[in-house]
């Protein structure tokens, strides 16, 4: 078995050594080295000795974003950025994802427990190693051009959804930020509540929601426990949490649980969201799986399919990583396989005409 070669770059030798030791405990990973020097890291990357770069963007004496930008110009090696300073108002990680990082993770230590953080990094490294970086950069550049030339959004049309209790649930991971930006660019009308699981770390989802909210005419926010969702709003599940949709005496209510407290260490948060939506909305639920690593969402999509709902997956050609959609296809529970640029139109037709 060929191991995934990982280079760890940061200014803390203690943290880097710990990461090297912990990640190397996984039989699929080989920590190829540690670098506190951008020049030595660049040489190792240029010599094609690594498969994934872990980059600390909080380095004290170096601009992590500038370094990331130079790395993406130099190589097609996938980069996962790490940060210990993730807060709801900080845009650094979101900016890193826009600059070409394929994923983001919490740096172990401080508020982020080592065991859970290393496990999260392990899954993200597996996903990053399968990324078509050329396809990823091509998509990023196209979206950047779109938003740069985009005029102020006009008010959305007021269309009534087919059923008042209809939901749209979306699951994605690796490459998901770009996929969501492209998907939402096709939304042009008031739609049922949309619930999204992204596998992003804590804090990043609030920053991402803020960015998406500024880009589009509709509302995008990080979901809160106990709130009643409304039409025309997209709800992002908080990082490292499980979001469920439930019925109560007051109507639909969002439930947020800590992912680990929910006993869900293997990151099946999309499955749990989809299953709750299938139970709550039945045939009025639309489930969508976008680019992503692993099998999360497939079992939940089966629940939606069995309940009479409509299921859509992003096609392999436009996915950065086809694992999540492909697993659902293999299960035989997918109503439609569509390129990312056609999914929004299909959702709109299904929610306005049934």
CA atoms within 13 A on the CB side of 24: 13
13: which residues sit within 8 A by CB, 6+ positions away?
34, 36
Cα within 13 Å of Cα(229), Cβ side: 36
Q: What share of the chain is helix, strand, coil (3-state, %, to 5)?
A: 40, 20, 40
Q: Are strands 310-314 and 285-289 parallel, antiparallel or unpaired?
A: parallel
H-type alpha helices, the chain: 13-24, 38-46, 64-74, 92-99, 114-129, 133-149, 176-185, 204-215, 269-281, 298-306, 323-331, 340-353
The dihedral formed by the CA atoms of 319, 324, 329 and 334, expressed in degrees to the nearest 10: -90
**Known catalytic residues?**
173, 199, 296
Cβ burial 214-231 (10 Å sphere, 16+ → b, else e): ebbebebbbbeeeeebeb
Terminus-to-terminus CA distance in the chain, angstroms?
Answer: 48
SS3 state at 55: strand
Tell me the sheet residues that pair with 53. 7, 79
Q: Which residues, at least 6 apart from 227, have a Cβ–Cβ distance to it below 8 Å? A: 253, 254
CA angle 129, 132, 136 (to 5 degrees): 115
Strand partners, 258: 241
């Amino acid at each position: 078995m060929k191991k995934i070669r990982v280079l760890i770059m940061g200014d803390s030798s203690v943290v880097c050594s710990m990461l090297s030791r912990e990640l190397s405990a996984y039989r699929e990973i080989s920590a190829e080295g540690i670098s506190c020097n951008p020049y030595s890291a660049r040489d190792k990357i240029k010599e094609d000795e690594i498969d994934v770069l872990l980059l600390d963007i909080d380095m004290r004496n170096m601009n992590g974003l500038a370094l990331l930008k130079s790395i993406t110009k130099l190589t097609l090696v996938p980069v996962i950025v790490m940060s210990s300073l993730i807060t709801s108002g900080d845009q650094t990680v979101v900016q890193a994802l826009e600059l070409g990082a394929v994923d983001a993770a919490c740096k172990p230590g401080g508020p982020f427990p080592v065991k859970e953080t290393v496990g999260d990094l392990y899954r993200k490294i597996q996903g990053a190693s399968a990324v078509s970086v050329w396809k990823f950069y091509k998509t990023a550049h196209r979206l950047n051009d779109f938003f740069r030339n985009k005029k102020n959004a006009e008010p959305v049309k007021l269309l009534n959804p087919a059923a008042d209790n209809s939901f749209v649930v979306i699951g994605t991971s690796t490459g998901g930020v770009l996929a969501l930006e492209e998907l939402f660019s096709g939304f042009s009308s008031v739609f049922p509540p949309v619930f999204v699981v992204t596998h992003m770390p804590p804090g990043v989802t609030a920053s991402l929601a803020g960015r998406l909210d500024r880009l589009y005419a509709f509302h995008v926010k990080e979901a809160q426990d106990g709130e009643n969702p409304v039409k025309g709003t997209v709800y992002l599940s908080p990082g490292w949490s499980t979001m469920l949709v439930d019925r109560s005496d007051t109507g639909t209510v969002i439930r947020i649980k800590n992912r680990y407290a929910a006993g869900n260490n293997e990151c099946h948060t999309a499955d749990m969201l989809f299953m709750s939506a299938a139970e709550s909305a039945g045939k009025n639920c639309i489930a969508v799986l976008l680019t992503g690593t692993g099998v999360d969402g497939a079992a939940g999509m089966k629940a939606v399919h069995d309940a009479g709902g409509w299921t859509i997956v992003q096609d392999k050609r436009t996915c950065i990583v086809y694992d999540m959609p492909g697993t659902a296809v293999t299960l035989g529970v997918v109503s439609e396989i569509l390129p990312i640029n056609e999914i929004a139109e299909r959702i709109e037709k299904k929610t306005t005409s049934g």
